[in-house]
Amino acid sequence: MGNSRLTVSLPSASLAEALEDVEAEVLRWDMSGPAPRPEIDLVVVPYIPGSEHLRWLDGVTTRLVQAQYLGYDGVAENLPPGHVYANARGVHETSTAELALALLLASQRGIGAFVRAAGVRTPEPTWYPSLADRRVLVLGQGGVGRAIEERLTPFEVEIVRVARTAREGVHGLAELPQLLPSVEAVVVAVPLTDKSVHLVGAEFLARLPDGAVVVNVARGRVADTAAILREARTGRLRFALDVTDPEPLPVDHELFTLPNVLISPHAGGMSTAMLPRVARLVRRQIELLSAGAEPVNVVLRR
Ligand SMILES: O=C(O)C(=O)CO
């Protein structure tokens, strides 16, 4: 380590192919077992849920551990001491925002009902709410929240911004109880922290007006699944969930059977945008580390 040629471990053939011209010694390690070397300058973590695989870094010396996720919940608990961890800021925001919009529109306009009816019966034409002139609350003002707002703006909605703490143009979490009764949709894009666990619970849902849509593209545990299920059974609200708790949801879970619930399989970041963006980020980290400079996107030092 520390000599001129960096050692980099990559978890997938596709990433190795995208980075085949980098100035580094490239190893393949998917972190499902021990490290190929006791010292690896840059370890790129596989894109699989959870962070238990980080435990394979125990006893390995690194300069940087680069994730392919934006969210880093669970990382502090699993990353052994001595490592610097960078997240994938800049990779997933646009793709996740696209899915949030797709879920919101599909939910508002009853696309799930049309799809369910396809080939079984001719769906009844019925009135669905438009997004136009509605109030949409974007919960979370990080990169994903901002990307959602940018994409929502042409739909002529009034956007209500909420973040953990209030600032100009942004409401704080403490104001949620007053804001919820006046919005037709909520898009949840907050990180999972001690403060956000079960933020979308029974009390939150009860304050929303009839017919409101709740979209969650954050983490399943930001919402209380039992409270969502209770509310969804009544048919009063609509839900569009890219993330669930547990995840994945068991195939026989009642939420899958309810006509006012759409569920996607944590697919927010999974688009063709991901691989080139991850490759660009890793390339940049290699250049920075090679130059002895500080890496970007560092969110944790253990
Ligand atoms: O980047 C993340 O944290 C994701 O969940 C991508 O879908």
Whether residues 246 and 175 fall in one domain: yes
The answer to whether residue 2 sits within a structural domain is no
Residues 224 and 158 in one domain: yes
Comparing 86 with 113, the larger pLDDT belongs to 86
pLDDT for the residue 38:
97
Instruction: Work out the pLDDT band at 116, boundaries 50, 70, 90.
Output: confident
Residue 77 has pLDDT above 80, yes or no: yes
CATH number of the domain at 112, please.
3.40.50.720
**Percent of the chain scoring above 90 in pLDDT:** 91
108 and 75 co-located in one domain: no
Q: What is the ipTM of this complex?
A: 0.96
CA distance 70 to 51: 12
Q: Quick one: pLDDT at residue 177?
A: 98
Q: What is the pLDDT of residue 121?
A: 85
| Pair (219, 139) in one structural domain | yes
Q: Are residues 144 and 37 in the same domain?
A: no
- 194 belongs to a structural domain: yes
Tokens matching residue 88:
């994938």
Å from CA of 52 to ligand 1 middle:
16
Q: What is the pLDDT of residues 226-282, one digit of tens each?
A: 999 999 999 999 999 999 999 999 999 999 999 999 999 999 999 999 999 999 999
- Non-local (6+) Cβ contacts of 159 within 8 A are 135, 136, 137, 138, 149, 152, 153
> How many A from CA of 133 to the centre of ligand 1?
30
User: What value does the mean pLDDT take over residues 95-101?
Assistant: 98
Residues 108 and 229 in one domain: yes
Are the CB atoms for 82 and 302 separated by under 8 Å?
Answer: yes
Instruction: Tell me whether the omega of the peptide bond preceding residue 38 falls within 30 degrees of 0, making it cis.
Output: no
What is the 100 CA–ligand 1 centroid distance (Å)? 12
Q: How far is the CA of 72 from the centre of ligand 1 (A)?
A: 9
Cα 186 to ligand 1 centroid, rounded to whole Å: 19
293 and 183 in a common domain: no
Q: Residue 1: its pLDDT value, please?
A: 55
What total number of domains does the chain contain?
2
pLDDT of residue 278: 98
Residues 174 and 232 reside in one and the same domain? yes
Residues touching ligand 1 (Cβ under 6 Å) are: 69-71, 88, 92, 96, 266, 268-269
> 180 and 116 in one domain?
yes
pLDDT band at 118 (very low <50, low <70, confident <90, very high): confident
Mean pLDDT, residues 32-40 taken together: 97
Q: What angle do CA 250, 253, 259 make, to 5 degrees?
A: 135
From 47, 48, 92, 244, the mutation candidate for ligand 1 (largest count of ligand atoms within 8 A of CB) is 92
Q: Answer yes or no: is 1 within a domain.
A: no
User: Which pLDDT band, with edges at 50, 70 and 90, does 120 fall under?
Assistant: confident
Q: Are residues 181 and 41 part of one domain?
A: no
User: Which residue has the CA at smallest separation from atom 7 of ligand 1?
Assistant: 269
Query: Per-residue pLDDT for 3 more than 70?
Result: no
- For 202-232, the pLDDT digits (tens) are 999 999 999 999 999 999 999 999 999 999 9
Cβ atoms of residues 244 and 214 within 8 Å: no
Task: Quote the ligand 1 centre to 199 CA distance (angstroms).
Answer: 19
* Cα angle: 234, vertex 236, 241; to 5 degrees: 90
Residue 46 within a domain: yes
Domain region containing 34: 7-87+272-301
> Do residue 63 and residue 205 come from a single domain?
no
Judgement on whether residues 99 and 243 belong to the same structural domain of the protein? yes
Closest atom of ligand 1 to CA, residue 91: 1
Given the CA of residue 243, which atom of ligand 1 is nearest to it?
5
Does some domain include residue 203? Answer: yes
